[in-house]
């Protein structure tokens, strides 16, 4: 295993603990999580790995294979590191675990993996969940899954400073092989939904870094909050957009300026699509599921306005191919990836056609990852 070999090369010993946490792709349910709505992601068979062992002192020495960079910090003084931002996920987990009266030992560790960065596949959540599971194994503890997920989200929100929802960490921890995971982001109830064996999850990377994603993400969060406030002022007893049905929103349309109505309409209809998508999977109706994915993309493009020319091009190319059930952008938007559900018999030709078509249409290259749903970090393999 590469991570163990790297640890031996760097630290000259055998690792005591090896853990992994997968990236994820969201099949449907985009920008609903911070609106207390529904999501349907799947963990994928690309992961971040940790290998490490205890030290006698309170120092953490960590090496990142991906960044080819080494850092050191003291567990008694965990501070953010602007020079080595990749380490802040590990630092945040360490800080907040100790805030819960847990005393962590010093460690030597190596981090590396094959989850593409800045592609909308939640490499950051994989790093956070992987770090939390690593510490739990070092301490020889069996963690409470939801508490661990909340800790990982807290590290991203409050230490790293990214206002993400909880979906990414949740599915990285609790995904299941050959299943999607339905999550209610309001009360964190969840269940696994079987994915048909007759589909491949194919992720196409636009190659465009999500330069606008953070700032525009914050704008969308604010716009959704404004929509709720205006609807409450009108007399609707709601605390979030998830409490509205599409018909109720339409009836209150005049209470919202045009942009706020479009943002709210995406969230409300997307929640409805997720529920329909779960029903479709339970019935084995992949065709219906695919249509819902495509409708989701249209809503993200037109109402939420978080797509891009590159993402739209990849979706359009995908929908022209034989054996494709549906396609949509996935992640925050403005770059990153699309996800398509593809027949296994069509997957090889699909990859070739997308790469050639993207190059021809935009003069750009795309990396295409043919994935399957995998177990999360807290699920035995």
**All structural domains of the chain with their residue ranges:** 2-194
Element (H, E) at 73: strand 69-74
CA–CA dist 84, 160 (Å, integer) = 12
Q: What is the pLDDT of residue 237?
A: 93
Pairing between β-strand 107-113 and β-strand 59-64 as defined by DSSP bridges: parallel
Could you tell me if 46 and 114 are in contact, meaning their C-beta atoms sit under 8 angstroms apart? yes
CA 284 from chain centre, in angstroms, equals: 25
* Mean pLDDT, contiguous 10-residue spans, the chain (381 residues): 91 95 95 94 94 96 95 96 94 93 93 82 90 95 92 93 85 95 95 91 88 77 96 94 95 95 98 98 96 98 96 98 96 90 96 98 95 88 50
Q: What is the pLDDT of residue 213?
A: 62
- Can you name the residues that pair with 181 across neighbouring β-strands? 192
The CATH architecture that domain 2-194 belongs to is 2-Layer Sandwich (3.30)
Decide if 168 is catalytic: yes
Handedness of CA 110, 112, 118, 124 (dihedral sign): negative
Q: What is the pLDDT of residue 326?
A: 98
Count of CB atoms situated within 10 Å of the CB of 147: 11
Catalytic residue among 66, 74, 114, 168: 168
């Amino acid at each position: 295993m590469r991570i163990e070999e790297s640890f031996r090369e760097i630290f000259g010993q055998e690792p005591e603990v090896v853990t992994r946490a997968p990236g994820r792709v969201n099949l449907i349910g985009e920008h609903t999580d911070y609106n207390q709505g529904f999501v349907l992601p799947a963990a994928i068979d690309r992961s971040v790995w940790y290998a490490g062992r205890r030290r006698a002192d309170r120092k953490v020495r960590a090496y990142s294979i991906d960044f080819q960079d080494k850092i050191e910090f003291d567990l008694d003084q965990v501070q953010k590191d602007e020079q080595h931002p990749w380490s802040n996920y590990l630092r945040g987990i360490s800080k907040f675990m100790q805030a819960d009266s847990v005393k962590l030992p010093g460690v030597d560790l190596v981090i590396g993996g094959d989850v593409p960065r800045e592609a909308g596949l939640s490499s950051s959540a994989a790093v956070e969940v992987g770090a939390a599971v690593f510490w739990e194994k070092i301490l020889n503890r069996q963690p409470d899954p939801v508490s661990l997920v909340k800790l990982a989200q807290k590290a991203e929100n409050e230490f790293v400073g990214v206002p993400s929802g909880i979906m990414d960490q949740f599915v990285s921890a609790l995904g299941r092989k050959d299943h999607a995971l339905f999550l209610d982001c309001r009360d964190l109830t969840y269940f696994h939904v079987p994915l048909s064996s007759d589909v491949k999850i194919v992720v196409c990377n636009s190659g465009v870094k999500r330069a606008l994603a953070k700032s525009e993400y914050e704008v969308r969060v604010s716009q959704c909050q404004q929509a709720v406030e205006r609807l409450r002022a009108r007399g609707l007893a709601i605390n979030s957009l998830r409490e509205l049905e599409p018909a109720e929103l339409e009836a209150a349309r005049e209470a919202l300026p045009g942009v706020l109505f479009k943002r709210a309409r995406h969230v409300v209809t997307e929640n409805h699509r997720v529920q329909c998508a779960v029903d479709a999977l339970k019935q084995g109706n992949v065709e219906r599921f695919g249509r819902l994915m495509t409708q989701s993309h249209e809503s993200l493009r037109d109402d939420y306005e978080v797509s891009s020319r590159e993402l739209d091009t990849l979706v359009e190319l995908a929908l022209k191919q034989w054996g494709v059930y549906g396609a949509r952008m996935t992640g925050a938007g403005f770059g990153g990836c699309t996800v398509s559900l593809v027949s296994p018999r069509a997957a090889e030709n699909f990859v070739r056609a997308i790469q050639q078509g993207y190059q021809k249409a935009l003069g750009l290259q795309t990396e295409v990852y043919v994935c399957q749903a995998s177990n999360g970090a807290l699920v035995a393999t």
